[in-house]
Structure 1
């Protein structure tokens, strides 16, 4: 054998293609990375996570534009409005949640607001991914807003609400905690 053939054999030995195990490991790493990326994107898209302002300020504008924004601050003229839960304790399962939007300056309920529920979850008991379904119901009386909800289990539930008050710019936002009991 010549020196040239020895060199070629040594080179082939060092640069042998990866075996099946290496390819399987690479495939597994890529699948886990794709799932982690998809999960992070899902969490960002539904608002479960918010990028801190200090981090978002350092990102290029095109990237920052795609990130979810934190909850907008309530305008000062809407700080005089708040939600009040009429039944802080209710049966678990199907329930009607009744709330009142109160004008604190006048001490009276606001009857003609557009109130909508944004989310119902068990975050107060450390389970923010445990959510309940809701749909609006007819208002039982002026100034009271009702939602039909499914409180799947006992415990504390957080009701996130928003309202548009006629003649005001912006949105009233609040979170109320109720307890589902047996």
Structure 2
């Protein structure tokens, strides 16, 4: 009888531990998230809108309410990292989509650098996305 109670208690403890592990988003880790360009090719122009999605790479699900605290756009891929453009955050129109307004007046390869905090995760997500700006 004592062994049966011990075995039941051990099984319950194991089940509880597995349940917590399955429900814990912190187990994903910051490296399991990434920004992706919605459109990798953009038309050159003043007031260009860039959209990126933030996803959990394991589940493929969009990540809502991330806090993007650093953003930069420059021509580093074309060897001109000092050629930058102003960039402004815009309100989202779809869950998991983050939008930015910038002036891309030169065609070529541009790099969008983003840094964000994701709720429930420790660390900072940093991604550099390369897009092609065409006339």
2:37 to 79, 85, 92: 85
C-alpha distance 116-92 of structure 1, shift in aligned 2 (>3 A)? farther
Structure number with bigger Rg: 1
Q: Work out whether residues 112 and 130 of structure 2, in 8 Å CA contact, stay in contact via their aligned partners in 1.
A: yes
Tell me, yes or no, if the aligned pair for 1:117 and 1:159 is still in contact at 8 Å: no
Structure 1 residues 115 and 100: CA distance shift in structure 2, 3 A = same
- Give CA-to-partner distance per residue, 1:105-152, whole Å, 9 cap, x none: 111110121124421100101111100110000101110000001112
123, 126, 151: which one aligns with 2:79: 126
CA–CA distance in 2 between the matches of 1:117 and 1:152?
22
- Tell me which residue corresponds to 1:166: 119
SS in 1 for 2:77: helix
Map 1:40-51 → 2, pairs under 5 A? none
Unaligned runs of 5+ in 1: 1-75
* SS across alignment from 2:29: helix
Within the alignment, does 1:149 sit opposite 2:102 as a pair? yes
Cα RMSD (Å) of the superposition? 1.3
> Which residue pairs with 1:101 in the alignment?
54
How many pairs does the alignment contain? 107
Who is 1:10 aligned against? Answer: none
More helix by share: 1
Counterpart among 88, 91, 100 of residue 138 in structure 1: 91
Structure 1 length as normaliser, TM-score?
A: 0.57
Q: Provide TM-score, normalisation by structure 2.
A: 0.75
Distance in 1 separating the partners of 2:39 and 2:102: 13
**2:101 partner SS:** strand
